[in-house]
Structure 1
Amino acid sequence: MSDLNFEDQKKITTCISRAVERLSLSQYEVYCFQAKHYTVEAKEGTVDFFQNAVERGLALRVIRGHKAGFSYTTDFHEPAIQQMVKSAWEGTQSMSEDPCRALPDISSEPASYKSEKGDFDDFSDDDKMDMALSLEDIAKSYDPRIKRVRKATYKERHVSVWLQSSNGIHREAQKSIGEIGVMALAEENGSQEMSWDMDFDEKFSRLKPREVAEKAARDAVALLGARPIESIQCPVVLDREVVCSLLGVLSPSFLADHVQKGKSFLAGKSGQQIYSPLISIVDDGRLEGGYNSFPFDAEGRPHRKNVVVDKGFLRHFLYDCYSAAKEKKTSTGNAIRPSFKEMPQLGITNFFIEPGTTSISDLEQGLVRGLWIVDVIGIHTANSISGDFSVGAVGFWYEGGKRQFPVRGIAVSGNLHNLFKGVEAVGSDLKFYQGIGAPSLRLKALDVGGC
């Protein structure tokens, strides 16, 4: 790790080895984590917030008679490490035996992903502050109707992980990523509209502040004067950002633990056609430049590309070691740790719908009388198990493939699984919003509730 050299690792390992041996713990896993967070926020032409923080911790997972124990510490001195081991051991005493609780063995698959070397150290604090300030300036300069800018932000994250287990696993890797985002607010004749955009990259020099700020401003201005339409069932294009929101709601349905607990609509449907043949969904922890790409997962299993839906057919669910053991299967490398303070759990990495070949203009041509939805409100209320939803929506009304006027004050409803069955065109405009990505999709029809 960047701030833990070989001698530090050796001392920690030796200390833990002695402590677990005294307690007769033969199965243990050490997880060492460090993250450097750098944030700049601009407001009204000045830097409104600046943070440069380091988070560091050590976690221990032990297995004793098929009982799991867990503890962590932020103190890397020997007494604290010994107490961590003792706490993990004590944790096993209150647990029930579970034959599926075990530490993973060494995988024959190599952890082959290698993050691109970042250039963040080549740029000064002033450069990074200027990045945030430029987001605000570009958005405001785009159109005089942009009255305010919110959340003009530059973020940087440098993560180092070291994982070692009694089963012979030893993994170590680092990753750096930069991220920008901005929200623009437009005003005209009493109408107010907001829009947001973001970008991320493993290199500072490849971030696109002008593209991001101008898009946020352009979209906010375009929505000014939005009005409701009458209730109708019509063809709809879902903008890629909206599709990402819907995909985020659906993603737990593809996790094996949700299937095993009866919390997934997809239980029992493996091998069946569940969506349009135009839809393929992938989880890829080794995706080049991916927000969550890393050589290995939170248990040290190599990340890999998992195709969960292939041309509409449900092919696979996602597994960590525990959920895989329940079905006598192999982990797909999908263990995650939201924090070093938590046990590994099942989750997605870079989860996305593969792009199609349909251009934006061709998607528009399919809207003879239809709606292009650019935002939804209340997607968190959708039922992630059944897929039922009813949400507010914002977008543009189209006739003859041409944009007519902006729309607000409407609701769209249906079922997410049926929605993906009704996809008739997939855009080529794939974009990731952090760990979830999607292109725009055109649907045959969707129920729209208006005035």
Structure 2
Amino acid sequence: MNIEEFQKVLFAQGREAGFTEMEIYYANGRSTSVSVLKGEIDAYNIVESGGLSFRGLIGGKMGYSSTERLDYESIDYLLDEAGSNAEVLENEEPEELFAGSGHYHSVDTYLASLIKTPPGQLIEAALAMERIALNADHRIDMVRRSAASVSESEVLIVNTKGLNCHRKHSSASASIYVLAKESKDAKETVTGGWFDFSLRSFDDIDLEGVALTGVREAVSKLGASTVPSDNYPIIFRNDAATSLLSSFASVFSAESVDKGFSRLKGKLGEQVAGSNISIIDDPLMENVPSSKAFDAEGSATARHELIKDGRLLTFLHNRKTARKAGVQSTANAAKGGYKGMVEVSHHNLYIAPGTTSLSEIIRETERGILIVELQGLHAGTNATSGSFSLAAIGYLIEHGEIVRPVNQITVSGNFFELLNGIERIGYDSRFIGSCTSPTLKVSSLSVSGA
């Protein structure tokens, strides 16, 4: 039974069972992925997963249920389970189903042919990247993983009040992860990797570029050593800056603010960052992985400036947090899968890019450290206070040039203070996930080394 037929039968039988309002949230995904090792297929997986959650109002109370199967037996189960737990569940506040927004933007994120990419093409791509990496530099000791994949996903939210939202998403990706040594007998080993994607065709991915970038990321770290502990100007390359922003993205959630988990509480309208900083959540951007026309509650998404020229304009809201705050929802409801509770999260959060290249920022730095990798992000950050203390890998800069790689250092600071100390912003934003930052140069941060 397909999802459209299942929904119609479910609602018809639900009305007969006494449900006055009903809603389904359906999510499904499938992918084909392959990875190779030493010229042989290491893993080949075809995965399909998903399911459906149901909620319905019966006897004035809301009940919930979920299933992974779309068949007649599941319909009976969903209605029985929701009816039973509606009698015993105590809801904090009355729930209302949403009838939908007046207008939805068109977001093109799906191409049916992408999932049909031949498995043989994925295998050959992974093998080709491995060959390119091994031949690119004699210091590449091993390609630990060379992988290619295609995937697609689908979300459908329908209720009896008129909401009917449907989206599909497809993507292709290629990645490599390598190990490098200065010589075969050397004890020091370093790792590096790279990744790229396409939302249109696997052929659009530059496989040679992925492999060679992965190689450069690894071999450039050879011979790294620490630096004296001190305060240094710090350049967070776009990927490291993205990792840092992602670790603190929750501070913009109205849910976190309401619970006291964000230092931004009570600061709407105030200057919370440098005047050169704007932070935006834009789910309507073209050709980025996290674009979507509606959120997990079926609200139409839109572009929102959270911080503009350093001033805090809004938090991210779902319908519940918006009602509590007496504002309009920003359509940032999110669910961790079809069974998940509705929460608040960003869609495509990014720091607005500047006008300077990474190479220019390096040339302007008399002495400093370029950080390309941050480690321990889960344990080393505190979103409530904004403090962070993270192991880092990067490069020492002297007289405007990179002089050598650096490791065994820890960079420490505070995210909220950092937003007020950014001197330069690059234009090298790389939108590969739901959170993005260009390169950022910070005037001074504490570095613990030798």
- TM (norm. structure 1) is 0.94
Q: Which moved more, 1:383-392 or 1:189-198?
A: 189-198
Residue 20 (structure 1) shift:
2.6
Q: Choose which of 340, 343, 346 in structure 1 pairs with 2:341.
A: 343
- Looking at structure 2, the residues matched to 133 and 412 of structure 1 have their Cα atoms a distance apart, in angstroms, of 38
1:122 deviation in Å?
6.2
Q: Distance in 2 between matches of 1:330 and 1:201?
A: 34
1:305-316 alignment, distance < 5 Å: 305-316=303-314
Query: Secondary structure, in 3 states, of the residue corresponding to 2:419?
Result: helix
2:167 alignment partner AA: A
Aligned twin of 2:51: 57
Give the equivalent residue in structure 1 for 2:405.
406
Query: Contact between 1:40 and 1:155, CA under 8 Å: does it hold in 2?
Result: yes
Once the two structures are superposed, what CA deviation does each residue of 1:346-396 show, in whole Å capped at 9, x if it has no partner? 222122112111012211023201100111121112111111111111111
Give aligned pairs, total: 445
Spell out, residue by residue over 1:390-446, the C-alpha distance to the aligned partner (whole angstroms, 9 max, x if none). Answer: 111111111110111111111111111111211010001101342221111111111
1:104–1:65 distance in 2 versus 1, CA, 3 Å: farther
Pair 1:388-2:382 in alignment:
no
Deviation at 1:128, TM superposition (A): 1.2
Give matches, 1:321-400, under 5 Å: 321-381=319-379, 382-400=381-399
What amino acid is aligned across from residue 191 of structure 1 in structure 2? E
Whether the 8 Å contact between 1:357 and 1:427 is mirrored in structure 2 is: yes
Equivalent in the alignment of 1:200: 197
Output the CA distance in 2 between the equivalents of 1:18 and 1:264: 45
Task: Say which is worse superposed, 377-386 or 52-61, in terms of deviation.
Answer: 52-61
Tell me how far apart the structure 1 counterparts of residues 253 and 376 of structure 2 sit (CA, whole Å): 23
Q: In terms of mean alpha carbon deviation, does 277-286 or 23-32 score higher?
A: 23-32
After superposition, the C-alpha distances for 1:212-268 in whole angstroms (9 at most, x for unaligned) are 221111021111010011011111100111111111111111111111111111111
Corresponding residue for residue 162 of structure 1: 156
Partner deviation per Cα, 1:318-342 (whole Å, 9 max, x = no partner): 1112222222322212122221122
Deviations 1:274-317 (A, max 9, x none): 11222211112222112121222222112221211112111111
Structure 2 residue aligned with 1:320: 318
Q: Does 2:85 align with 1:91?
A: yes
Q: Are 1:82 and 2:76 an aligned pair?
A: yes
Deviates more, 1:346-355 or 1:89-98: 89-98
Q: Which moved more, 1:90-99 or 1:137-146?
A: 90-99
1:135 to 2:132 alignment: no
Q: Are 2:262 and 1:268 aligned? A: no
Q: Contact 1:66–1:98 at 8 Å: present in 2 too?
A: no
1:410 partner amino acid: I
Aligned to 2:248: 250
Secondary structure at 1:421's aligned position in 2? coil
Residue 6 of structure 2 aligns to a residue whose secondary structure is: helix
Whether the 8 Å CA contact 2:115–2:151 is kept in 1: the answer is: no
Q: Distance in 2 between matches of 1:283 and 1:32?
A: 25
- Compute the displacement of 1:67 (Å): 5.1
> 1:416: which partner in 2?
415
The 8 Å contact of residues 118 and 202 in structure 1, kept in 2 or not, is answered as: no
Task: Compare 113-122 and 421-430 and name the one that shifted more.
Answer: 113-122
- Which 5+ residue runs of structure 1 have no aligned equivalent? none
1:69 to 1:179, Cα distance in 2 relative to 1, 3 A: farther
- 1: CA distance, partners of 2:173 / 2:60: 42
Residue matched to 1:425: 424
The question of 1:126 aligning with 2:126 is answered: no
Q: Deviations over 1:140-164 (max 9, x none)?
A: 2221101112232212211122221
**Are the structure 2 counterparts of residues 226 and 363 from structure 1 closer, same or farther at C-alpha, using a change threshold of 3 Å?**
same
Question: What one-letter code is carried by the residue in structure 2 that aligns with 1:77?
Answer: D
Q: CA deviation at 1:98?
A: 3.2
Distance in 1 of aligned mates of 2:59 and 2:357: 57
In 1: Cα distance, 2:61 partner to 2:270 partner: 37
CA contact (8 A) 1:100 1:322 kept: no
Structure 1, 200-209 or 234-243: larger mean CA deviation: 200-209
SS at match of 2:181: strand
Deviates more, 1:291-300 or 1:409-418: 291-300
Q: 1:63 to 1:290 in 2, by over 3 A?
A: farther
Kindly indicate whether residue 222 of structure 2 is the aligned counterpart of residue 228 of structure 1.
no
Q: CA deviation at 1:33?
A: 2.2
Could you tell me how far 1:100 is from its partner in structure 2? 5.6
1:101 deviation in Å?
2.7
